[in-house]
Amino acid sequence: MDIFGSQLEEALPILQEQIQGCDFLAMDMEFTGLHSVLPHSLKPSLFDSADDWYRKVRSSVQKFTVCQIGLSLFFKQKSNRFLSYSYNFFLFPLTFGSIDSEFAIQATSIQFLNEFGFDFNKFLKDGISYLNEEQEERLKKDILTGNWCPQSASEKDKLKEVIVAVTDWEASAKEGDSIRLHNLKGFQMLMAQLVLRQALPDIWTIPVEGSELLVRKVNRQRRQQLENSSLDPCGKNRVLLLARGFTNIFQTIVGAKKPVVGHNMLMDLLHVHHKFYRPLPESYSEFKKNIHTLFPVILDTKILTGAVWKEFQFPWAGNLSKIFDVLSSDMNPASPSCPLIEHAVDCRKYVENRCPHEAAYDAFLCGSVLIQMAHLLLVSGQGETEELERSYTQYVKIVSKYVNQVNVIRAGFSCVNFSGPDPFPKRPPALLLTVRGWPDVDEQQIYREFLSICRVDVKRLRGTQFLLLTTKFKGVRAIQQEYKGHPNLQLCVYRYWRHSPAVCCVFSVCGVVLVWSAVAFVLGKSVPQHL
């Protein structure tokens, strides 16, 4: 089900009730960009430490925005079933008062979304607003000071038309007369009411029939009574409610403390922190601490998939959709007894339609994959394949060792542990490349040289020596085999105590000191004693 800015207020109570009542929820996001490519130093690398990696992605998260969030809420039912409610939320940054967010667009990301049918009109025209805590404080100050001025030229022109029309009408209207304004939606409706009431003290505004605004002429005593009543649709609390938008959902998820499931979800968590909670801190350790406080139980199906695929030797599956297909097929020995996952009555879009990279669909796949893998691990551990009723608690217990482990796509470490120290990475060794007969060679030229074998990250060590890193052990072996005996490119496994410039410098200095000490000792003994 798609939910837009004009629908959120009505849908919010039901969504909050479902979030509080579900067993777990799965989440997926689509962005206007992933990683900054300029300057080149911001590109993630296998040479990055955790702090280096965080500094780079923090910069990217600050530039790009979230254009769609998918939530899939899963409820364990009797008779070996799960029920899922899947929702698509189109988001757009708030423009209100002094708040006018900036964000970048990356061509490859937009092209990718367009290829999979993303509706940019829904994103731009009726996206749901959101605020983090810092922006909300600014908004509260704007409310106190009466700063309702919109930021965009089109919004200003629209409001100017509204004010002129109502002012002309109000000049000749009598008390009790009314006029209707049409085609006002979401925050535009609220803005029109605020500006009209500020400009005209003898009118009252009431939203009616979705996109229509009723303006009625009243005396000032009646106006004051209405403003002080609970019936005021422009009260401070309602302004904040509408401005928070999706942040209301985020706060409900945080309060519910339900397990949050994602697939390769680290960028999702970074955006969640920055867009709905607080601007990302400078410290990587503080980011980890904050996320663990917000979401005490996180499950990344990318981590779980790695363990399951290795144990059961399933064929390679490069994305979430293929993983789901493998687990739903006869290749999965536990597939016949797996719980039936059903879509709720109001959320049946994905019963027959496959919508890859639509956020709610990917969230549904993610939650389904978790159930299938947990069931497979549970069944194989018990040595049973027949259909039996398993409790939700059993599924939680079998995947407990993977809790709060989130995959890192490209860095010097492979996993973030949000509830403790990050595990030591199990990565192939670095290769030391010594280049001869290739003047002025740089990292990009070295990268392209080895690209036909595997993707490597390149870092200059010194002069014509470079370090090579890849994520595949077979890639290291292939490079060594292909370039064995090469006249100009000599490869060996990098050893820190042997090849590090710093260590070599220390040894060199120590050697010089020892030599001069020996020379001084010899010369000192050869000097005649009487001198």
More confident residue, 523 or 299: 299
Please determine whether the domains at 2-131+246-417 and 431-502 fall in the same fold group of CATH.
no
The confidence score (pLDDT) of residue 325 equals 92
The confidence score (pLDDT) of residue 361 equals 93
Contact 477, 486 (CB under 8 A): no
The confidence score (pLDDT) of residue 384 equals 56
Quick one: average pLDDT of 220-225? 83
* pLDDT surpassing 60 at residue 531: no
The confidence score (pLDDT) of residue 525 equals 62
Residue 465's DSSP bridge partners are 434, 462
Displacement of CA 280 from its chain's centroid (Å): 12
In 10 A of CB 8, how many CB atoms?
22
How far apart CA 394 and CA 405 sit, in angstroms, is: 19
The confidence score (pLDDT) of residue 498 equals 73
Nearest Cα to 411, choosing from 264, 242, 193? Answer: 264
Strands 66-77 and 24-31: antiparallel
* pLDDT surpassing 90 at residue 118: no
Q: Which long-range contacts (CB under 8 A, 24 or more apart) does 208-212 make?
A: 208/180, 210/6, 210/185, 211/6, 211/182, 211/183, 211/184, 211/185, 212/180, 212/181, 212/182, 212/184
The confidence score (pLDDT) of residue 285 equals 95
pLDDT level of residue 234 (50, 70, 90 thresholds):
low
Structure tokens at 342: 């059903």
What 8-state DSSP symbol labels residue 414?
A: S
Quick one: average pLDDT of 41-61? 89
* pLDDT > 90: percent of the chain: 35
| Structural domain boundaries in the chain | 2-131+246-417, 137-243, 431-502
* pLDDT surpassing 80 at residue 479: yes
The confidence score (pLDDT) of residue 526 equals 59
What 8-state DSSP symbol labels residue 33?
A: -
Backbone angles phi, psi at 405, to 5 degrees: -100, 120
The confidence score (pLDDT) of residue 509 equals 67
Contacts for 433 with CB less than 8 Å, ≥ 6 apart: 446, 465, 466, 467, 468, 489, 490, 491
Could you please state the CATH topology (level 3) that the domain comprising 431-502 is classified under. Answer: Alpha-Beta Plaits (3.30.70)
Quick one: average pLDDT of 361-389? 83
Contact 275, 65 (CB under 8 A): yes
Contact 437, 488 (CB under 8 A): yes
Contact 210, 6 (CB under 8 A): yes
Quick one: average pLDDT of 241-245? 86
Nearest Cα to 33, choosing from 107, 127, 116, 91? Answer: 107
The confidence score (pLDDT) of residue 527 equals 52
- Measured in residues, the chain has a length of 531
CA-based torsion, 126, 128, 132, 133: positive or negative: positive
pLDDT tens digits, one per residue of 306-354? 989 988 989 988 899 999 999 999 899 988 888 999 998 877 888 878 8
In 10 A of CB 366, how many CB atoms?
27
More confident residue, 178 or 389: 178
What is the DSSP track for 241-287? HHHHBHHHHHHHHHHHT--EEESS-HHHHHHHIIIII-PPPS-HHHH
In 10 A of CB 210, how many CB atoms?
11
What is the DSSP track for 120-180? HHHHHHHPBPB--HHHHHHHHHHHHHT----SSHHHHHHHHHHHHHHHHHHHH--TT-EEE
Average pLDDT along the chain = 85
* pLDDT surpassing 80 at residue 365: yes
The confidence score (pLDDT) of residue 230 equals 63
Instruction: Tell which CATH architecture fits domain 2-131+246-417.
Output: 2-Layer Sandwich (3.30)
How many Å from the N-terminal Cα to the C-terminal Cα in the chain? 100
Is residue 490 classed as helix, strand or coil in its secondary structure?
strand
Lookup result for tokens 């500094």: 55
pLDDT tens digits, one per residue of 73-116? 999 998 889 999 999 999 999 877 778 888 888 899 999 988 88
Lookup result for tokens 């060792």: 401
Is residue 181 classed as helix, strand or coil in its secondary structure?
strand
